[in-house]
């Protein structure tokens, strides 16, 4: 008996399969394009059933907090020039991300910020002076993290990803529906702690939203030198984590996407990864000269995508904002900045020895020795002053 090629194909299970089975990886992938609900000029784009637009009063509040946030940011940069702050990393241009993300979580949820998120913290309602205490060099963290359910701002890149996974897992383990929102920059997604945090959260279905603000730079290193992935959101599939990309300068889209991601985590479905495409308008910090690694035309192109102007145009067109409301919010922002200036100009008396408090629950022998050394130096300096 001869076997024809057709007979071989008929007998082969591969050849018989006509329907492609559902690919579990596909459901985890982000849309190919970032979600966008407002065009660059502030005009609405077609509504999306999967990302319903937040209520008008929520958008009004989003706008108000973005305006206050930007004013806070400008004031903080000015305080570096006056020597009141040691350093300040501005998030100008990232207002939609900073404010949209914190509006998507509850006060009872936990936020894990980086050094970039001072604006997000004031938008969460934390006292701006307490937020800036770390950058003034007075204290490790100016607010009480447990009271405001916000971890200290992390400078070691990506470590907050692990902390967020642990806290979220612990909360779920104890039967609470707390969600942890972890901010992270584009550059920090190359760190091992990002991998460990997202992987742990995925395996244990910890309710964490990992929110990557892709502002295109890690100090001077551009995104092209950071990753070969089609977009940072695509990293989710490797961990079994669903993800989405969003236009990070579209405040309405950021809030809508984050709201859905938070609902996913709260429903016990595990972590969610969101990548926001945005831009850092200012240098990395006041100590950086960004003109050495990027050109002005690039910055100007992003100036045209200003998130505050975009939301204002939209809300005016919808009748949610008018001249009077815009002026009233601008006035609130000025008063907020004036109060911040006055309080930051007060010279708080800080005990240098307090530097050693709260480093460990039980201080190590080295820490005790160092504390004693500083105490002796201070006592000697005081004695010298007394002699003089
Ligand atoms: C583990 C670690 N390595 C290096 C640094 C130095 N460092 C501070 S900020 C930064 C860039 C991070 O860029 P990105 O994650 O994109 O956040 P962005 O500053 O743009 O918000 C680097 C390399 C650090 N703080 N921690
Ligand atoms: Mg960055």
Catalytic residue (one of 116, 163, 169, 280): 280
Q: Answer whether residue 144 is part of any domain.
A: yes
Percent of the chain with pLDDT over 90: 87
Beta strands in 156-207, from DSSP E residues, in sequence order: 180-185
Average pLDDT over residues 293-318: 97
User: For ligand 1, which residues put their CB under 6 angstroms from it?
Assistant: 116, 155-157, 185-188, 215, 217-219, 280, 284
pLDDT tens, position by position, 86-106: 999 999 999 999 999 999 999
Question: What is the helix, strand, coil percentage profile of the chain, to 5?
Answer: 50, 10, 40
Question: How far away, in angstroms, is 60 Cα from ligand 1 center?
Answer: 33
Position 18 scores a pLDDT of 61
Position 139 scores a pLDDT of 83
From the CA of 283, the nearest ligand is 1
Choose one of 90, 219, 248 to mutate for the ligand 1 pocket test, by most ligand atoms within 8 angstroms of C-beta: 219
Indicate whether 311 and 383 sit together in one domain.
Answer: no
Tokens of 196: 């460990």
Catalytic residue (one of 284, 305, 310, 336): 284
Indicate whether 255 and 375 sit together in one domain.
Answer: no
347 phi, psi to nearest 5 deg: -95, 100
Indicate whether 30 and 169 sit together in one domain.
Answer: yes
51 is catalytic: no
Q: Which atom of ligand 1 is nearest to the CA of 219?
A: 11
Strand order in the sheet with 208-214: 110-112, 180-185, 208-214, 272-277, 243-247
Distance between CA atoms of 306 and 23, rounded to whole angstroms?
A: 38
* Number of domains composing the chain: 2
Position 129 scores a pLDDT of 97
Indicate whether 195 and 63 sit together in one domain.
Answer: yes
Question: What letter would DSSP give residue 76?
Answer: H
Indicate whether 375 and 242 sit together in one domain.
Answer: no
Residue 12 host element (H or E) = none
pLDDT at 161 over 60: yes
Distance between CA atoms of 101 and 257, rounded to whole angstroms?
A: 9
284 is catalytic: yes
Burial class (CB within 10 angstroms; exposed 0-12, middle 13-18, buried 19+) of 16: exposed
Tokens of 191: 């760190």
CATH number at residue 167: 3.40.50.970
pLDDT at 14 over 70: no
Indicate whether 98 and 137 sit together in one domain.
Answer: yes
Q: Which atom of ligand 1 is nearest to the CA of 226?
A: 16
Position 16 scores a pLDDT of 54
- pLDDT grade for 11, boundaries at 50, 70 and 90: very low
Indicate whether 336 and 359 sit together in one domain.
Answer: no
From the CA of 185, the nearest ligand is 1
Indicate whether 218 and 362 sit together in one domain.
Answer: no
Task: Tally the C-alpha atoms within 13 A of residue 138's C-alpha that lie toward its C-beta.
Answer: 16
Distance between CA atoms of 313 and 103, rounded to whole angstroms?
A: 20
pLDDT tens, position by position, 232-268: 999 999 999 999 999 999 999 999 999 999 999 999 9
341 is catalytic: no
- pLDDT grade for 272, boundaries at 50, 70 and 90: very high
pLDDT at 178 over 90: yes
Indicate whether 360 and 276 sit together in one domain.
Answer: no
Indicate whether 140 and 178 sit together in one domain.
Answer: yes
Q: Which atom of ligand 1 is nearest to the CA of 188?
A: 15
Average pLDDT over residues 371-384: 95
Q: Which residue has the tokens 């930051």?
A: 344
pLDDT at 296 over 80: yes
pLDDT at 107 over 90: yes
Give the β-pairing of 243-247 and 272-277.
Answer: parallel
Question: How far away, in angstroms, is 161 Cα from ligand 2 center?
Answer: 16
pLDDT at 137 over 90: no
Mean pLDDT of the chain: 94
SS3 state of residue 35: strand
Residue 164 Cα distances to 168, 170, 332, angstroms: 6, 10, 33
Distance between CA atoms of 220 and 121, rounded to whole angstroms?
A: 25
Question: How far away, in angstroms, is 116 Cα from ligand 2 center?
Answer: 9
Indicate whether 249 and 377 sit together in one domain.
Answer: no
Distance between CA atoms of 83 and 136, rounded to whole angstroms?
A: 9
Question: How far away, in angstroms, is 157 Cα from ligand 1 center?
Answer: 5
Indicate whether 318 and 363 sit together in one domain.
Answer: no
pLDDT at 2 over 60: no
Structural domain containing residue 275: 24-345
Question: How far away, in angstroms, is 249 Cα from ligand 1 center?
Answer: 21
Q: Name which of 135-144, 188-197, 308-317 the model is least confident about.
A: 135-144
Distance between CA atoms of 74 and 92, rounded to whole angstroms?
A: 8
């Amino acid at each position: 008996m001869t076997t024809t090629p057709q007979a071989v194909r008929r007998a082969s299970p591969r050849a018989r399969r006509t329907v492609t089975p559902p690919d579990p990886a596909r459901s985890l992938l982000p849309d190919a394009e970032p979600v966008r609900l407002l065009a660059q000029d502030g005009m609405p784009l077609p509504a999306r059933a999967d990302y319903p637009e937040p209520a008008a009063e929520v958008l009004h509040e989003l706008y108000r907090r973005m305006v206050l946030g930007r004013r806070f940011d400008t004031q903080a940069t000015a305080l570096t020039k006056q020597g009141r702050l040691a350093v300040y990393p501005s998030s100008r241009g990232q207002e939609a991300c900073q404010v949209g993300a914190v509006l998507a979580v509850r006060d009872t949820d936990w936020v894990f910020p980086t050094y970039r998120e001072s604006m997000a913290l004031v938008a969460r309602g934390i006292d701006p002076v307490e937020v800036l205490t770390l950058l003034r060099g007075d204290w490790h963290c100016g607010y009480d993290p447990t009271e405001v359910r916000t971890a200290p701002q992390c400078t070691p890149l990506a470590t907050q990803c692990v902390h967020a996974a642990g806290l979220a897992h612990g909360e779920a383990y104890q039967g609470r529906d707390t969600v942890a929102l972890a901010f992270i920059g584009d550059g920090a997604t190359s760190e091992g702690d990002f991998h460990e945090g997202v992987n742990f959260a995925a395996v244990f279905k910890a309710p964490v939203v990992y929110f990557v603000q892709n502002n295109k730079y890690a100090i001077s290193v551009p995104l092209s030198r950071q990753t070969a992935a089609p977009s940072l959101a695509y990293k989710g599939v490797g961990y079994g984590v669903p993800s989405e990309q969003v236009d990070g300068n579209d405040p309405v889209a950021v809030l809508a996407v984050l709201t859905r991601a938070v609902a996913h985590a709260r429903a016990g479905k595990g972590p969610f990864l969101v990548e926001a495409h945005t831009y850092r308008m200012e240098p990395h910090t006041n100590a950086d000269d960004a003109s050495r690694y990027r050109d002005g035309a690039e910055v100007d192109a992003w100036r045209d995508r200003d998130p505050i102007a975009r939301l204002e145009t939209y809300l005016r067109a919808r009748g949610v904002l008018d001249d009077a409301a815009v002026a009233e919010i601008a006035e609130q922002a000025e008063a907020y900045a004036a109060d911040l200036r006055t309080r930051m100009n007060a010279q708080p008396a800080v005990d240098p020895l307090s530097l050693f408090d709260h480093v460990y629950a039980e201080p190590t022998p080295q820490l005790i020795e160092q504390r004693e050394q500083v105490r002796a130096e201070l006592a000697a300096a005081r004695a010298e002053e007394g002699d003089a």
